[in-house]
């Protein structure tokens, strides 16, 4: 699904990731690692919003640097601490996003209804609680026709019911549309929905891929 070539990331002189060449197959990946290991850096680089050395290709063809528009149409990202213009309503933000991506708005309505955001769609984002901002970022991440969804710490600030909704969206998108996921979190999913999840451990500036079996319940 993703090909990393000579992938390295430095902040000034500080080398944070030195991955080299790596093939990451399709699937659902839990991105793990200690504080400061580079999980957010990795996801932001894959999202095309952070510069890095080397190349990243989706499906062996679409290069984040050489084909940025095509790449971003199919790779969606939700930040750990999303920031949106406070004066826009959630509906206006979704409209902006769908117009830029060239995808229909209607599907976003379904996601909003599903996660309990429908009553707030026409309120300004500045009036939202942190959980509501998080839900908006997740709705945007699932909107369109993504092939890869990158979720940075999606579990924080979500209540238990919303977590189950998010897990069900992931399972459905993966099953019905073969969408792959990379999800950074310090928690394990704790659900049998995601028993096929694998793990990417960010450690010693490198990435270690392994399959994990998720406990039932
Ligand atoms: N904008 C930046 N400028 C300089 N250094 C940065 C910047 N962003 C991150 N870093 C550094 O890069 C390293 C990796 O940070 P990153 O945020 O990717 O870690 P993380 O694994 O997501 O951490 P956490 O689990 O605490 O969220 C850390 O040493 C951090 O201090």
Dihedral angle at the C-alpha atoms of 20, 26, 29, 35, nearest 10 degrees?
Answer: 20
- The CA 40 to ligand 1 mean position distance, Å, reads 7
How big, in percent rounded to 5, are the helix, strand and coil portions of the chain? Answer: 35, 30, 35
Look at residue 100 and tell me whether its pLDDT is greater than 80: yes
| Mean pLDDT in residue range 111-128 | 96
Q: How far is the CA of 147 from the centre of ligand 1 (A)?
A: 26
Q: What's the pTM? A: 0.94
- Torsions phi, psi for 66 (to 5 deg): -85, -25
Closest to 116 in 3D by CA, of 131, 95, 101, 96: 131
Assess contact for 75 and 44: CB atoms under 8 A.
Answer: no
For ligand 1, atom 30, name the residue with the nearest CA. 36
Residue 194: is its pLDDT beyond 90? no
Domain enclosing residue 178, as ranges: 2-211
State pLDDT tens for residues 150-190.
999 999 899 989 999 999 999 899 999 999 999 999 887 66
81 falls within a domain: yes
Distance of CA 26 to the CA centre of its chain: 14
Q: Is residue 217 part of a domain?
A: no
As a whole number, the mean pLDDT across the chain is 91
Q: What pLDDT, on a 0 to 100 scale, did the predictor assign at position 216?
A: 35
Would you say residue 130 lies in a domain? Answer: yes
14-24 vs 2-11, strand pairing mode: antiparallel
pLDDT over threshold 70, residue 193: no
The CATH number that applies at residue 115 is 3.40.50.300
How many whole angstroms separate alpha carbon 20 and alpha carbon 41? 15
In a domain, 216, yes or no: no
Tell me, what's the pLDDT at 180?
95
Asked whether residue 156 is domain-assigned, the answer is: yes
Domain count, the chain: 1
User: Is the pLDDT score of 192 beyond 70?
Assistant: no
Please report the ipTM that was assigned to this predicted complex: 0.98
Find the residues whose C-beta lies inside 6 A of ligand 1: 11, 16, 33, 35-41
Ligand 1 pocket check: which of 17, 40, 80, 202 to mutate, most ligand atoms within 8 Å of Cβ? 40
Tell me, in angstroms, the distance from the centre of ligand 1 to residue 45's CA: 12
In total, the chain counts a number of residues equal to 217
- For ligand 1, atom 7, which residue shows the shortest CA distance? 11
User: Using H for helix, E for strand and C for coil, what is the string for 157-169?
Assistant: CCCHHHHHHHHHH
Alpha-carbon gap, residue 55 to 4, rounded angstroms: 6
pLDDT tens digits for 53-78?
999 999 999 999 999 999 999 999 99
65 C-alpha vs ligand 1 centroid, how far in Å?
Answer: 22
Which of 10-19, 141-150, 189-198 shows the lowest per-residue confidence on average (mean pLDDT)?
189-198
- Dig out the tokens for 102 from the structure: 């060239």
Task: Please state, in angstroms and rounded to a whole number, the distance separating the CA atoms of residues 165 and 171.
Answer: 10
214, 211, 212, 207: which is closest to 2 by C-alpha? 207
**Tell me, what's the pLDDT at 217?**
30
Determine the average pLDDT of the residues in 15-38.
95
Any bridge partners for residue 124, and if so which? 89
- Lowest pLDDT segment from 72-81, 85-94, 97-106: 97-106
* Average confidence (pLDDT) over 114-138: 96
Q: Could you read off the pLDDT of 140-161 as tens digits, one per residue?
A: 999 989 999 999 999 989 998 9
Alpha carbon of 185 to ligand 1 centroid (Å): 14
Q: Both tokens of residue 161? A: 């019911």
């Amino acid at each position: 699904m993703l090909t990393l070539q000579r992938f390295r990331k430095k902040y000034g002189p500080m080398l944070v990731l030195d991955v080299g060449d790596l093939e990451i197959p399709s699937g659902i990946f839990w991105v793990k690692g200690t504080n400061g290991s580079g999980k957010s850096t990795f996801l932001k680089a894959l999202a095309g919003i952070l510069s890095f050395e080397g190349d990243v290709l989706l499906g062996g063809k679409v290069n984040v640097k050489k084909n940025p528009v095509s790449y971003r149409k199919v790779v969606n990202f939700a930040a750990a601490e999303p920031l949106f213009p406070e004066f826009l309503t959630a509906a206006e933000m979704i409209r902006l996003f769908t117009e830029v991506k060239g995808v229909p708005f209607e599907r976003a309505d379904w996601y909003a209804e599903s996660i309990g955001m429908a009553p707030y769609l026409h309120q300004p984002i500045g009036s939202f609680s942190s959980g509501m901002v998080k839900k908006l970022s997740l709705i945007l991440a699932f909107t369109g026709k993504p092939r890869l969804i990158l979720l940075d710490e999606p579990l924080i600030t979500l209540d238990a019911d919303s977590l189950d909704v998010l897990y069900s969206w992931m399972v459905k998108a993966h099953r019905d549309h073969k969408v792959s996921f990379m999800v950074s979190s310090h928690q394990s999913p704790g659900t049998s929905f995601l028993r096929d999840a694998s793990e990417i451990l960010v450690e010693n500036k490198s990435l270690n891929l392994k399959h994990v079996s998720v406990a039932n319940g």
